Chain A
Amino acid sequence: MTEGQPQGVTRVLIIAWLVLVAITILEVSLILVFRVAPGVRVAALILLALMKASLIGAYYMNLRLERLAMTYVAVIPLTLLVLMLISILPDAASLLRRP
């Protein structure tokens, strides 16, 4: 792992925190303030959640500083997890159509 200058790292972490807080405010606003179509809202919330998760992984869990192979150890199982989530959607849809 490598590190930059002390002030630079602190600044980057503060910026990451501000972005995460801004995304959280936007998420709440999508529910309480803005009137958007449910489909758009769901897509936006999922996208915002993935952005937050990426920021936390990169900056708070320092994946941005690790060797690429180490990043794969973390990212590949989580990618498979997303595929598993997608694979249950047909089952969930059939449950929805159940009388």
Chain B
Amino acid sequence: MTGGVDATPVPESGQQGLAVRWGGGRSPWDVSWGKLMMWLFLISDAMTFAALLVGLWVTRLGSPTWPNRLEIINLRFVATMTVILLCSSTTMALAVFAIRQGARRQAVWFLAATIAAGLVFAGMQATEWTHFIGEGARLTGNPWGVPAFSFTFFAITGLHGAHVLGGIVYLWIIADRIARGLGSAEGVEIAGLYWGFVDLVWVFIWSSIYLL
């Protein structure tokens, strides 16, 4: 048994690499405060959506009946909304990449495409809500006899829609600043995190409300 310290050099990828990774110091995550704050906001926002989705599932599993969504909602229409949101996430990622390359003008165009896709998504969601309300759905009741069905639908898709509208305004401001030569690449990247999150949350809303 030896009590001494092992002086064998450790490769960067081994113990030392781990120490560097977890060493703390001035910037343990190697990201700016703005980006870290956005991540913390997104995680707390994810908890809000999670609470709503958990509420939906507890209510739904505890309900003796649950309306057949396929008879009420046009699944192909909502699938198109989903694809449009995926398109907007791609153009957003391309905008982030363009600004990092210094192509500001290209970044503005990609941001404009993202805003346009976001507006189409919001418009389609408004159309879907109009149809749903036209069928008799309200926050407190609906013709299918399960009030929680329409309540959870409006609450969850409404909160997500508010995020989309907020994101459109956010991206508009960022695009305007980039176009005027004011914004930074990191500002676009942080906005990209927000928009990616809006798409990420929709994956679970799409699955929970429309598919499962």
- With a cutoff of 8 Å between Cβ atoms, the chain A residues found around residue B70 in the complex are 31
Closest Cβ–Cβ distance, residue B204 to chain A (whole Å): 6
A49 and B204 contact, Cβ closer than 8 Å, known pairs A21-B83, A21-B86, A81-B50: yes
B46: contacting residue among A30, A77, A85, A92, CB under 8 A = A77
- With a cutoff of 8 Å between Cβ atoms, the chain B residues found around residue A88 in the complex are 54, 57-58
The reply to whether A24 and B90 contact each other, CB–CB distance below 8 Å, is no
A92 and B211 contact, Cβ closer than 8 Å, known pairs A16-B90, A77-B43, A85-B54: no
The reply to whether B90 and A57 contact each other, CB–CB distance below 8 Å, is no
A60: contacting residue among B30, B62, B92, CB under 8 A = B92
The reply to whether A42 and B212 contact each other, CB–CB distance below 8 Å, is yes
Whether a CB of chain A sits under 8 angstroms from the CB of B128 is no
The reply to whether B47 and A81 contact each other, CB–CB distance below 8 Å, is yes
The reply to whether A84 and B54 contact each other, CB–CB distance below 8 Å, is yes
The reply to whether A78 and B46 contact each other, CB–CB distance below 8 Å, is yes
Task: Determine the distance from Cα of A43 to Cα of B193 in the docked complex, in whole angstroms.
Answer: 29
The reply to whether B54 and A31 contact each other, CB–CB distance below 8 Å, is no
A92: contacting residue among B62, B196, B206, B212, CB under 8 A = B62
The reply to whether A92 and B61 contact each other, CB–CB distance below 8 Å, is yes
Whether a CB of chain A sits under 8 angstroms from the CB of B101 is yes
Task: Determine the distance from Cα of A9 to Cα of B79 in the docked complex, in whole angstroms.
Answer: 27
A32 and B97 contact, Cβ closer than 8 Å, known pairs A42-B212, A73-B39: no
B189: contacting residue among A32, A46, A62, CB under 8 A = A62
The 0/1 profile, CB within 8 Å of A marked 1, for residues 161-204 of chain B is 00000000000000000000000000001001101110110011
B29: contacting residue among A46, A52, A67, A96, CB under 8 A = A67
Closest Cβ neighbor of B70 among chain A residues: A31
The reply to whether B83 and A59 contact each other, CB–CB distance below 8 Å, is no
Chain A to chain B contacts (Cβ below 8 Å), 25 pairs: A13-B93, A16-B90, A17-B86, A21-B83, A24-B83, A27-B207, A30-B211, A32-B76, A45-B212, A49-B204, A49-B206, A56-B196, A60-B199, A60-B200, A66-B31, A67-B29, A67-B31, A69-B21, A77-B46, A77-B47, A84-B54, A85-B50, A88-B54, A91-B58, A96-B61
Contacts A74-B39, A78-B46 given; 9 further ones with Cβ under 8 A? A10-B97, A27-B207, A27-B211, A49-B204, A52-B203, A53-B200, A61-B192, A68-B21, A98-B62
Residues of A within 8 A of B (CB): 3, 6, 9-10, 13-14, 16-17, 20-21, 24-25, 27-28, 30-32, 42, 45-46, 48-49, 52-53, 56-57, 59-62, 66-70, 73-74, 77-78, 81, 84-85, 88, 91-93, 95-96, 98
